[in-house]
Amino acid sequence: MEAPPPISLDALFRPRSVAVIGASRRRGTIGGELFHNLVARDFAGAIYAVNRKADVVQTERAYASVCDIPDPVDLAVLVVPHDEVLGVVDQCARKGVKALVVIGAGFAETGSAGEALQRDLAERVRAAGMRMVGPNCLGLLSTEPGRELNATFAPAWPPAGNVAVSSQSGALGLAVLDYARALGIGISQFVSVGNRADVSSNDLLEHWEADPRTRVILLYLESFGNPRRFLEIASRVSRSKPIVAVKSGRSTAGSRAAGSHTGALATPDVTVDAILREAGVIRTDTIEELFDVAALLANQSIPAGNRVAIVTNAGGPGIMAADACEAHGLTLPAPGADTVAALARALPPEAALRNPIDMIASASPAQFEEAVRRVLADGAFDAVLVLYVPPLVTKPTEVAAAIRRAVQGAEKPVAVCLLGHDDVSEARELLRAARVPVYPFPENAVMALGRAAEHGRWLRRPQGRSLDLWADEAARAREAAAPLLAPAATATGPRWLDARSVRAVLAAYGIEMPACRVVTTEDEAVAAAEELGWPVALKITSRTIAHKTDVGGVALGLKSPWDLRAAHRVMLERLTRDGHVGEVSGFLVEKMIEAPRGAGVETLVGLTRVPELGDLVAFGLGGVQAELMRDVVFRVGPVTDVEAREMMAALRGGALLTGFRGSAGVDRDALERALLRVSRLGADFPAIVSLDINPLLALPPGQGVLALDARIQVEG
């Protein structure tokens, strides 16, 4: 029998009635605290306790089974041992319950037996048309006035607000709620998704996209359920509601052993970063940063640019803030002439009127108000950072009140840093009440402004286009490459294409390589070199050796038959000595490209296939140091022309491409086309597991690019 379509998440967040199955009479237990939390809030519906051994739970009548409750139940919270969950779910299905929260552990997180139990649980939930949060979770809550729902066992209840939170960690969820309350960050809804057997972060993103009470979405992620689906949903939601995420697991310990530069560089965290960047999700490194960014976005507008004005009464913190701005891609332009003239009239002669604007320690509340008003009105700035260190001559609350007056109705984002603790606590609350984010140190505020400005750039950037091949060109390219990339009849796993096939595939997609010949003997090598013209390069061909230079399999700049014969013999001797000769199928004699001294830059272009996501396209500085320098950026394919240009600009060594110390730079248009063509090749042939062009020599402007070496691995 076909399962009914799943109902919306409204039954989870806006139920008319809730039953706690496993409600306990004893406070301090999960079942006791969860039932107490529900009853203690201003929930508009009915709350039922289900306990087989008690008639009364915390002064409320208890029922032996959910089926014994005389009225309909929308939401059931299960606080029962894992071996009892399936039976209770069956009871909920008979009762017509619409949604479940399964608190208990003992499921997929415990191993194969738990995985089987979780699959059975999910199948029963879907068959009944219910929605489920968990298992192995903290629960959920909603702060909607008049319908407050606290179906968690957390001790902290956050203030109501416009920030929605999803956490894959229950323990961290406890800390998140406590931190939100301490910082005064208002929460609209909170969900601890646990093992995500049904409701996932993707479901919550779509729910919060339509929720009028939610303005900002915070995610704590440990893994993606369906990364491609997350990318599609988050890319859409980010355009209307900022998504801020902290993702655990940044170490490279889990990176796979790879036979290509691209595969080795594409660590799991690189993949995550590419997904989040592509989706417009603001990634932070810590929970503290997560809330710092949330405090700004929940209360202020997105900056229209990266130009910041710093207003301070202390030079030292102003300098610290200026340094932090540079590190986070923010600039500090000088104020306009009118602003400088107005500040000169309002501030003492000792004040510094450039940027940072240092009003000196004696600055009064009125001077703070005037300075902040002036820079907010100045078109030179997109955001304002106010730094205040309490001196003896002014009261923090008076300065806070002045800043409140100055920013009232401001369209530009304002962040305030109050250095100190107890002596500024009242001033901090005055500003927070006016929806002005307050930070303890300049670096926190600058980081938040930097992340917000970066998100603003993402919102403003054009969508871009993928490679637009003419229909006949696309058909010819696919037709030429298809036979070479087809699975081999005898293959038992991924295989590397031979040198001839690699060249033919790249040629079909318009990527040129130097003229070459494949040979097997020394005499054939010399004959090939005579035909191609000196100088030449000699390289081994192998389906198993990923990096030829590591085994001495490359010799460059061979200018005569004597050079070539000597290089061939040395190469064979080393391969034999090191036990690699059996892995070599032949040799490649390649025409050397003699670029003018100092001209051209070796780059790397590649892609690697990621399960359930697709291609990660790589671009960076190449050559033998590609993995050592790791100056490589990744984007989820297929990339657009806009993304290709962003990738080139994002390199630490990007100045080499545009021109450095008198060099002319390289043909960036040709580089962009090469990136787009490799991306299109990967999109056309999902059988490609990995592709490396390293080095791709980028020649001076107008001279194009040339692939000097390449490898392609395909599914068997």
38-48, pLDDT tens digit by residue? 999 989 899 99
pLDDT at position 490 is: 62
pLDDT at position 487 is: 74
What is the rounded average pLDDT of the residues 603-613?
92
In 3D space, the residue among 147, 145, 124, 133 whose CA is nearest the CA of residue 103 turns out to be 133
Residue 560, amino acid = S
User: Which region among 161-175, 462-476, 632-646 has the lowest average model confidence (pLDDT)?
Assistant: 462-476
Tens digits of residue pLDDT in 343-397: 999 999 999 999 999 999 999 999 999 999 999 999 999 999 999 999 877 899 9
Question: Does residue 625 register a pLDDT over 70?
Answer: no
On whether the pTM is more than 0.85, the answer is yes
Q: To which residue do tokens 């738990």 refer?
A: 114
pLDDT at position 332 is: 98
pLDDT at position 264 is: 55
Tens digits of residue pLDDT in 100-136: 999 999 999 999 999 999 999 999 999 999 999 999 9
- Give 265's pLDDT tier (boundaries 50, 70, 90): low
What is the rounded average pLDDT of the residues 315-335?
96
Tens digits of residue pLDDT in 465-521: 877 655 567 788 888 898 888 877 666 778 888 888 999 999 999 999 998 999 999
What is the rounded average pLDDT of the residues 577-601?
82
CA-CA-CA-CA torsion sign (112, 115, 117, 123): negative
Between the alpha carbon of residue 217 and those of residues 161, 165, 249, 438, 602, the distances in Å are: 12, 6, 21, 20, 41
- In terms of DSSP H, where are the helices of 310-434? 315-327, 337-346, 365-377, 396-407, 425-433
Bridge partners, residue 307, by sequence = 331
Average pLDDT of the chain is 90
Tens digits of residue pLDDT in 391-417: 877 899 999 999 999 999 999 999 999
pLDDT at position 316 is: 93
CA-CA-CA-CA torsion sign (391, 396, 401, 404): positive
pLDDT at position 258 is: 45
Question: Does residue 2 register a pLDDT over 60?
Answer: no
Question: Does residue 546 register a pLDDT over 80?
Answer: no
- Give 597's pLDDT tier (boundaries 50, 70, 90): low
- Give 596's pLDDT tier (boundaries 50, 70, 90): low
Percentage of the chain lying above the pLDDT 70 cut: 93
pLDDT at position 36 is: 96
3-state class (DSSP) for residue 342: helix
Contacts of 61 (CB under 8 A, 6+ apart): 49, 55
Tens digits of residue pLDDT in 455-467: 999 999 988 887 7
How many CB atoms lie under 10 A from the CB of residue 593?
A: 13
Contact yes or no for 456/412 (Cβ under 8 A): no
Q: How far apart are the first and last CA of the chain?
A: 38
pLDDT at position 598 is: 56
Question: Does residue 196 register a pLDDT over 60?
Answer: yes
- Calpha distance 245→467 (Å, rounded): 31
Contact yes or no for 607/262 (Cβ under 8 A): yes
3-state class (DSSP) for residue 534: coil
Question: Does residue 547 register a pLDDT over 90?
Answer: no
In 3D space, the residue among 484, 526, 546 whose CA is nearest the CA of residue 688 turns out to be 484
Tens digits of residue pLDDT in 647-699: 999 998 888 898 877 677 899 999 999 999 999 999 999 999 999 999 999 99
DSSP 146: T
- Calpha distance 132→135 (Å, rounded): 8
Residue 424, amino acid = V
Question: Does residue 531 register a pLDDT over 60?
Answer: yes
pLDDT at position 262 is: 54
pLDDT at position 318 is: 95
pLDDT at position 255 is: 41
Question: Does residue 249 register a pLDDT over 80?
Answer: no
